[in-house]
Amino acid sequence: MKRRTYSRNDSEDLNVFPAFTDLMTNAFMILSLFLLMALLQAQYLNRKLQAAAPIIIDEQSGNFKFKSGSAELNLDLKNYIFQDIIPSIQRITQSHDIEFIQVIGHTDGQEIGSVGNLDKMLEKVANREASVTQLKAGSNADLGLMRALAVIQEIQKVEELKNIEFRAYSAAQLYLPSGELASFDRENNEDRRRIEIRFIPPGKQQKY
């Protein structure tokens, strides 16, 4: 009798399969949870690193025009920047990882026909030691850069955006709104005059 009892107890002690199954099930559930968390984190980071759509300030509406050959911002354009552009930039910088923001000035193909002073004044203006209005364009490349710089300095009047890095660029008359290279065209064309604001995520390289 005692021998049979011991045999039964030994058999029960050696039957670890249910416990092993429970352990593996729990381990699988924990691993699945970690994988799900990693997937969600990767998706979140991917959204943060995706480039946001650029913001375009154009002249088609007729309200945001620069004076011919000038980078001075009129009142309508200043109001548009504060009421629409700055809130959009704030939303995008909060929802995306941004390394810096490009502001690109595009012009039409009209010839400037004057002597510029950017070689003498540009650094002073960029460091706010002189006003953008003191710059004189000698080319459309000058003019596009002046206007981009003027927009950046207007945006940076908002305290919350002063720590964001902005970079001013000029595309002159080189690109159409479609992104295609422009053909030779020296006509007054407001469709081509625009400011493009691009949000550059870490590690990304953008054209011009």
**Residue 172 bridge partners (DSSP):** 106
Q: What is the pLDDT of residue 197?
A: 94
Maximum Cα–Cα distance for the chain, whole Å? 117
Please list the ranges in the chain whose pLDDT falls under 70: 1-20, 22, 38-51, 59-64, 204-208
Q: What's the pTM? A: 0.71
pLDDT value at residue 149: 96
The CATH label, of 3.30.230.70, 3.40.50.720, 3.30.1330.60, 1.10.3720.10, for the domain at 53-200 is: 3.30.1330.60
User: 104 has which bridge partners?
Assistant: 169, 196
What is the SS3 assignment for 157?
A: coil
DSSP symbol at 84:
I
Helices 140-155 & 118-126 angle (0-180, nearest 10): 10
pLDDT at 167: 95
What distance in Å separates the CA atoms of residue 90 and residue 79, rounded to the nearest whole number? 16
CB atoms within 10 A of CB 195: 24
Strand partners, 199: 101
What's the pLDDT at 43? 57
Q: How far apart are CA 108 and CA 144, in angstroms?
A: 10
What pLDDT sits at residue 208? 47
Q: How do the domains of the chain map onto residue ranges?
A: 2-46, 53-200
DSSP lists the bridge partners of residue 194 as: 58, 106
